[in-house]
Amino acid sequence: MSTLSKSPLRVARHALITGNWVLARYAHRFSPHTYTQPQLFACLVLKVFLKTDYRGLTALLTELSDLRTVLGLTRVPHFTTLQKASRRLLRVPLAQGLFRNTVRRFLQRRQRVHRAAFDSTGLECGPRSLYYVRRRASVSKKWQTVSYSRYAKFEGAFDCASHLLLGVLVGRGPRVDVDRFVPLLETTLEQVRLDIVVADAGYDSEANHRHAREQCGVRSYIPATIGRPTNKLPSGHYRRQMKQRLNKHYGGYGQRWQGESGFSMLKRRLTNTVNGRSYWSQCREMLLIAISYNLMLLYAAGAFLQSRSTAS
């Protein structure tokens, strides 16, 4: 299994290289040309890695000369510059391009992944007192039993062999997962070719099996437990097969927990909270978290930095 890097210098180098691959050097020919877009993108990744805000990042860059040297900064950007850069650089098309680059640089020439685990998780919207939430949920009044009404939802496809994020969808919950299987599979297949996908019962649907197996050529393994409990077998061909045969050894379904491990790594090392207030700011922040997570993985090929050191 790969491990997440704890070195801000290594992460900054990876982020700068990825930015140089995907982003134009400057947003416009008449821009001030004080900072390049790859430099600003690397600063945004460091903000997530260091678990700080824009003001905190500028303070750290002011005091840490090694980070400025790695990023090639002669001046520290103002925190408003970073905030505006996040709105520009993390728009969905650019963010998807940056994410795809992290996947390709990790896998290098390998284009096929044997098994991927699909799962989703919720992220807190802003800091809150867990003690207050617990006390509020324990009272007898009915209107006080709900501790939240919505949250940021992060859906990911993890490579079971390395915990690499192969595909990601961001949005808002709570919402069911059954209609999210096909979009997550499609965005994953844009990055790699898959042999097997394993997912929990929240994705259980005969239509999902048919799409994966008959249209995409991917073997899907999902427990057939959705619906009213009954002793009768499901009517669908693939769901019936899952009911009769699926266990932790069949199709390697026991590796589904790798998705939960990936989310655990992401939340422990990065964050379990998004600070954005609007829907799109939360989506941009979650995409940045996904990109930062992949950049923190120690790349299997030790020549990753050397291959682009001259170009950066």
pLDDT in tens, 166-202: 999 999 988 889 999 999 999 999 999 999 999 999 9
90, 44 Cβ separation under 8 angstroms:
yes
Residues 6+ apart with CB under 8 A from 249: none
Distance CA 73, CA 80 (A): 17
pLDDT of 61 above 60: yes
The mean pLDDT value of the chain amounts to 87
What is the model's pLDDT at position 159?
A: 94
pLDDT (average), residues 49-64: 94
pLDDT of 147 above 70: no
The pair of structure tokens assigned to 147 is 């501790």
Strands 151-159 and 219-221: unpaired
- Cβ neighbour number for residue 64 with a 10 Å cutoff: 15
Angle at 128 between CA 85 and CA 95, to 5 degrees: 25
Phi and psi at residue 298, in whole multiples of 5°?
Answer: -70, 120
Domains plus CATH for the chain? 8-89 (no CATH), 110-286 (3.30.420)
Q: Is the pTM of this model over 0.85?
A: yes
pLDDT (average), residues 248-259: 88
Give 122's strand partners. 153
Q: Report the length, in residues, of the chain.
A: 312
What is the model's pLDDT at position 2?
A: 62
Cα dihedral 295, 296, 299, 302 sign: positive
Angle at 308 between CA 307 and CA 312, to 5 degrees: 160
Cα dihedral 174, 177, 182, 184 sign: positive
Distance CA 208, CA 137 (A): 36
Phi and psi at residue 256, in whole multiples of 5°?
Answer: -60, -30
